A and B are shown apart, each in its own frame.
Chain A
Amino acid sequence: MKLKTSLFVAVVTGAMALASTAIAQDQIKIGVSYPTPTHAWAAGMNWHAEQAEARLEALYPDVDLILVNSPDPGAQASAIEDLVSVHQIDALVVLPFESEPLTDPVLNVKKTGALITVVDRGLSLPGIEDIYVAGNNPELGRVSAQYMKTRLKEGDNIVVLRGIPTIIDNERFDAFMAEMEGSGVNILDHKHANWNRDDGFEVMQDFLSRFPDIDAVWAQDDDIAIGVVAALKQAGRDGDGMFVVGGAGMKETIKGIMDGETLVPVDVLYPPAMIATAMDVTVAAFKSNGPVSGRYILGATLITPENAASFYFPDSPF
């Protein structure tokens, strides 16, 4: 019993000594973990993370941001373990690949006393994160529907192209449908186009063959919208007043809005830059004299020709 206690004391003292050396280095180490950029939105996120890293490290010489990306949930869990064991991070900014498999690894980081910032996708247990930064999926659906209602009247027809069958897609779609209810606008059908240009093109071709009268398309995503526009142009139905609403904030789409494009007149923001917001807030937790923990839900802003310029990043890959 005595031996056990003294062992425990020794371990604790050792841990405290280690912790104090970490402090003695006088560096605030922040690990930033997110999925490998294998599609356009994630590539944009990667770009914004790198921009934020350069900006914050220049601003605060004692802040060290360590960016790590991982190709799957298992690899991300290992990467997070390495951030703790190798870098002994003081804070973790994490965009989890999937909620379930990453909850435990993040919980373990929390036990080391590090500050936890979770981005976009939540974890399965409440209360792990100190800061939560996310886009607003239901709001994206709602804002899109509100815009549709300003342009359409009772009896008009729309078709919906959804993403990959996931919670994110359901949240957007359900909020859109709830907002459209009672407007008198007919939703002819909805199909999954998997946030993909090719699928957007094919699904829209089939919708055009099937429905002779379509007044608007909710493509939910800018990549899908590109396929939809190509299908409309091919069928020669791009000139009859039909319009397409995508989402996310792809630079080409925003450029089009700035140029006064009528086929895709607006976009709804779901910014890949949210990782930069999360990094800013996390650094602020160490540098600000005000409290920063809490939830930061970014607005699903409607991007119009008037405000497009402030969302345009021509150097980003997205």
Chain B
Amino acid sequence: MSDSATTTESKSWLSSVDFKTLGPAIALILLCVVGFLLNSAFLSEGNITNLLTRSAFIGIIAIGATFVITAGGIDLSVGSMAAVIAGVMIIVMNSAVEIMGTGVATVLLGCGVSVILGVGAGWANGFLTTKGKIEAFIVTLGTMGIFRSLVTYFADGGTLSLDYGIRETYRPVYYEAFFGLPVPVWVFIFVSIAGWVLLNRTAFGRYCTAIGSSESVARYSAIKVDRIKTWTYVIQGLCVAMATIIYVPRLGSASSTTGVLWELEAIAAVIIGGTVLKGGYGRIGGTILGALILTTIGNILNFTDMISNYLNGTMQGLIIIIAVWLQRADWGKKSKPKS
């Protein structure tokens, strides 16, 4: 018994490697090799730190998106939501200066507002999708437009800027490091662990997967489908709020160009990571790698002048497709008879 098992293993070791899981990791490693060959400064501590910190925004949002997509939904409003939350945070903090000063209390107030808005907006998306029985695509397309125009309106078409006093207090949240890692990276790690546990080790995570595979079967299995689905949007909103909290101190401003196309980047990160777009199978680890891959592509393109600036989009598109192909291809399985 054990003999035959070892022979099978040694014969097709390639097939025993789980490429479905490793695909995104291999793509990321290949990218890093390319980056290093272009310029050894790619692997410098500063650049790696920049990369990780940048990935935190899309990464955190994409972890929320993993829940929504796993449960068979979609949220197109996240970029606009981040922009409007950032805008309102700035307005609230600026107007709180006179009463509360420029200290930590004001920053905490801003963060509180962010969380409330994120959860509220997520709940609205979820409620309209489940109780309103409107397609998630349409609901979130609608809220995408609403949020985007609200931030344009609040900013009078221009840019909302954070008070310089608060900026000094708030700045460390983006720029300071804690045990060698910038604060946004810590937040990213924390959200990743929480997301992984929630999706893989709780009933809620199993319900999300079940609903994504078949909503009606889930309903017959006495799963409270509407409630679980609404929760996925609330988690998404909370993730957007967290991302916004670490985004605002970076440049201390929000405008109508903030967060443009973040929704597509988040969805791309989720799909590159192996989560199935039509629901029923989700992977938090893959999503994190997906977010890292997307940021690394942009970084590498800034590291080389070999490719015409106009073809950046082409390179990004090709690498995304290759990353997904690496993970979907049946590596080494062709030699094996189909069972």
Residue numbers of A with Cβ under 8 A of B are 36-40, 42-44, 46-47, 162, 165, 189-192, 196-198, 201-203, 205-210, 223, 226-227, 230, 234-235, 252, 316-318
Contact = CB atoms under 8 A, between A and B. Distances in A.
Given A162-B309, A230-B250, A235-B46, A206 B303 contact: yes
Contact of A39 (B39, B157, B175, B309): B157
Contact of B303 (A201, A210, A316): A210
A42 B157 contact: yes
Interface in B89-105: none
Contacts of A202: 50, 54, 298, 302
A42 B159 CA distance: 11
B158 A318 contact: yes
Interface stretch (B232-240, B254-262, B318-326): B254-262
Given A210-B39, A317-B155, A201 B305 contact: no
Contacts of A210: 39, 41, 302-303
A192 B309 contact: yes
Interface residues of B, number: 32
Contacts of A223: 159
A103 B253 CA distance: 37
Nearest to A197: B251
Given A210-B41, A226-B251, A227-B251, A38 B256 contact: yes
Given A38-B256, A165-B309, A234-B175, A206 B158 contact: no
A205 B309 CA distance: 17
A232 to B, nearest CB: 12
A190 B303 CA distance: 11
Interface in B43-87: 44, 46-47, 50, 54
8 contacts: A37-B158, A38-B256, A165-B310, A190-B309, A202-B298, A209-B41, A209-B47, A210-B303
A189 B305 contact: yes
A39 B250 contact: no
Contacts of A316: 158
Given A198-B251, A206-B302, A230-B251, 14 more contacts: A38-B152, A38-B256, A39-B157, A40-B159, A43-B157, A43-B158, A44-B158, A47-B156, A191-B302, A202-B50, A203-B302, A223-B159, A227-B251, A316-B158
B161 interface: yes
Which one of A39, A46, A47, A252 has the greatest number of beta carbons of chain B within 10 Å? Answer: A39
Interface of B: 39, 41-42, 44, 46-47, 50, 54, 152, 155-159, 161, 175, 250-251, 253, 255-258, 298-299, 301-303, 305, 309-310, 312
Contacts of B303: 206, 209-210
Nearest to B310: A165
B253 A209 contact: no
B256 A39 contact: yes
Q: Which of A42, A47, A209 counts the most B-chain CB atoms under 10 A from its CB?
A: A209
A201 B250 contact: yes
A209 B46 contact: yes
B203 to A, nearest CB: 39
Across chains A and B, which 5 residue pairs bring their CB atoms closest together, nearest first?
A43-B157, A317-B158, A37-B157, A206-B302, A43-B158
Chain A interface helix/strand/loop/mixed? helix
Nearest to B159: A40
B4 to A, nearest CB: 53
A192 B307 CA distance: 13
A46 B250 contact: no
A258 to B, nearest CB: 16
Contacts of B310: 165
Contact of A209 (B44, B157, B159, B256): B44
A59 to B, nearest CB: 26
A38 B145 CA distance: 13
Contacts of B42: 209
A40 B305 CA distance: 30
Nearest to B158: A317
A233 to B, nearest CB: 8
A196 B152 CA distance: 15
Nearest to B39: A210
Contacts of A192: 309, 312
B247 to A, nearest CB: 9
Contacts of A46: 157
Nearest to B54: A202
Contacts of A190: 309
A265 B41 CA distance: 30
B207 to A, nearest CB: 36
Contacts of B302: 191, 202-203, 206-207, 210
A201 B251 contact: yes
Given A198-B251, A206-B47, A317 B157 contact: yes
A198 to B, nearest CB: 7
Contacts of A47: 156
B14 to A, nearest CB: 36
Given A201-B250, A209-B41, A209-B50, A40 B152 contact: no
Contact of B257 (A196, A208, A230): A196
A51 to B, nearest CB: 14
